Chain A
Amino acid sequence: MTMTSDGRAGDGRNRRRDAALGGSRAALRMRDGDSGSVMAENKNGAAGLPPAAAVAPLPEHLSRCLRAMYDDVLDEPVPDRFRQLLEELDRQQGAADAAD
């Protein structure tokens, strides 16, 4: 787990922000955005809609699925092939530098 901490710097902050957005304001936005199909949006016309600035967050359940899916892989140990690859790249680099 400690392996991943650097790779996810700022993660916690963003998730807290997401959580904050998950409140009533987010629910209001979601209602706006979800008021219907693409057809319905077209009917209402783009003029009445706010610019793309307002991004509705994913519903909480989907958001959790998305993070869980990502975190499943994130929490796996680094396969040996990648440690070996980095060592090999380093060794080749060292040999190339020595040859210069």
Chain B
Amino acid sequence: MTASLLLTGLVAVPWLGALLLGVAGSLPARAARSLAVLASASTLVFGVLLLARFDPSLAGLFVEERVPWIRSLGIDYHLGLDGMGLLFVLLTGILGPLALVTTLRRATRVRAAGAWFLLLQGSALGVFVALDFFPWFICWELSLVPAFFLIRGWGGAHAGTAAYRFVVFTLAGSAGLLLAFAALYAATGTMNFTDLARLRAAGELAGKLGALGAWTPVLVFLGVLVGLGVKAPLFPFHAWMPATYAEAPAGVSMFLTGVMSKMGVYGFFRLLWPIFPEELRAYAGPLLVMALGGVVLGALAALRSGNLRHMLAYSSLNHVSYCLLALFAVAGAGPADGVAVESALVGALLQAFNHGLSASALFFVAGVLEQRSGGDSDFARFGGVRNAAPRFALLAGVALFSSLGLPGLNGFVGEFLIFRGVFALQPLAAAVATVALLVTAIFLLSFWQRVFHGPRSGAVAGSFADLDAAEWRVLGPLVVLMILLGVAPQLLAGLINPLAMSWAASLTLP
């Protein structure tokens, strides 16, 4: 397979799998499940193939496909990957199959669920590799459809409203994106991310946008900000999140928090920063406040939560906001802050990856608890799980502490680097964030204590089986990765170091 088709293949295989599942009406459940998992796992295969081609010294795109597509709109079929993109592709490759297996485990209508999930996975991958607005936006919007049906059709009691709100919020953001890119096209004749970044680097973009109207550059920036902000989510665009994460089936929540929210973070790095560095700098103050708001609100709300899903949702908000905090702090930086900038950037991306792993794992834990108790994951329903299912408790504990940021586990290095960078750039913000760290520790530990420690009570009082083989197959690898990446973070950092260095040097994408 030549390099020029690897990216297309990456996105196409899950979609093909979805199509096959969609039309094969008479496929038995087992075969459907196998087909789905196979198609999902292909991502990891592609990821490894791409990893093999990765050149650590190169800061830019190491594989690219670019073909003219729609001449009259200046749109190309442009896919490309650099270290950052590869990071997210690998994340998807790892989390995808695991989340899929979880979703299909006890689902009815396996074929349909598998098809929707593969469609979702393919769309997410498309977002990570597309470098022209049109293919990128197709995948961005397309991901909503399977998400909607998965939440609606396999979710909890209030899934309907949650799904509806999720989609409407995202559509609102997308309208902003559409508006912004229409303006960019009107001003420059292109909607290609790399070309736009180049225009910005050459200093021409502001002038062209300004020609459309005095308010246009700001409006365009806001449009993109809102569009991406809804997805990440960035406070205060997060209102859809708690209900959605709570109502979605466990496997889907894993994917939502692990991959889909990273689509938003990725967007900030791929779109917002290279194309609007000046606006980011100008508004760095308010944006920092928003990110901090997410950090603090996430932590506090999680603290007050009495339900694991709910708590995890807000915890996600908190963790993702760290990434954004780092970015906004960097945005206001000057040329002298090179080291701090590098540190913050590397930390943000590592955090994104690692949070994906740990949050996914924790949602899986929630799923296990729900399945065992036959209901929701309210803390009050559990107690002394450690006694009933020691191995489960062990793995859950690792995930928990990873989320906490314990040194030695993968969650630490990202947070550490972020704080190191942000302290140097925006000490006040870092101070506030530190408080949130404390709160995070409190809620995570108190959860641990209430659910896992103490005498067996509630649902645990009766039979509470330990992890079975299938569950091991999901949680196990995640935990292994968490430990591995905690001990040897350079495995990941190697992917993004050169990128971060060049960003720090020029504050644009190469």
A and B form one complex: no
